[in-house]
Each structure stands twice: as C-alpha cells, then as structure tokens.
Homo-oligomer: A and B are copies of this chain.
C-alpha cells in the first residue's frame, strides 16, 4: 500500500465512475428506415439527447464522443468503468432504445468486472456487442490452456 493522497484520489475517481460514451456523429445504417439528417440532427445526436433527457443512472457519466468508428452498424455507444472493468461497445442503437441502454448502463456499473449477468443483460446487448476490451489486468488464456 502507499499513502500518496494524489494516487488515492485518482484511483477512487476511476473506481467509482462508469462512463456511457455515445457517438453523436452516427448516421443511420444504409438500409435503415430511421430518418437521416433532414431535421438537422444525426441519429447519434438524437440518441444522446434522449439519454440526457432520461438521465444517466447514479455512478454513470454520459459523454458525447466524436466517432467510435463503427460507422457501418448504426448508432454506437460504449460502456467503460473503473480499473477492473471490461469495456463494451454496442451497435445498432437508436433513440427509442435509450431506456434499454440506460438500464444496461446501470447493470454494467453494478458489475465489478463489467460483465453483466446473462439474465440481467438487455436483449439488445446480447445481440449487438461489437467488441470488448479487457481491463489492464486479466487472466492469460494461454497459461490456462497450456498447463
């Protein structure tokens, strides 16, 4: 253990907060019936506005992002959290799914490693996970399989 106040403050902030990152530049998918730019707002921005209006769960910070480069899969959002959490990226979102996304964010924040128990996982998360990124420390799968 160390008693450095600066380090402790940084770690506490990281451990406490989860972030819901929403691409505000996402356009509709090529074959989607979702309206496009006609009202001046992209679908990604409309999703962000719906999330903002509904309010993020306690411990979750909503942040707009320029681009998550998942542009072929409709609106995209990512969930990330403290040092021990996996980061998840979900696609095919739209403003009508804001409530589902917020419920998923609440469950993600409650899960120490970010893995939402299957029964609590929103159906949209089950079918539209684009990628996940491990936390800094994670088990080496080759050590498990080679021994």
Contacts and interface: CB of A to CB of B under 8 A. Distances in A.
Interface of A: 2, 4, 6-7, 10, 21, 24-25, 48, 63-70, 76, 78, 80, 87-89, 129-134, 138-142
Q: How many copies does the complex hold?
A: 2
Contacts of A2: 4, 6
- Report whether over half of chain A's contact residues are helix, strand or loop; otherwise say mixed: mixed
A65 B138 contact: yes
A118 to B, nearest CB: 14
Contact of A76 (B70, B87, B131): B131
A140 B45 CA distance: 13
Given A2-B6, A66-B134, A87-B87, 7 more contacts: A4-B7, A21-B134, A48-B142, A65-B134, A68-B133, A70-B130, A89-B130
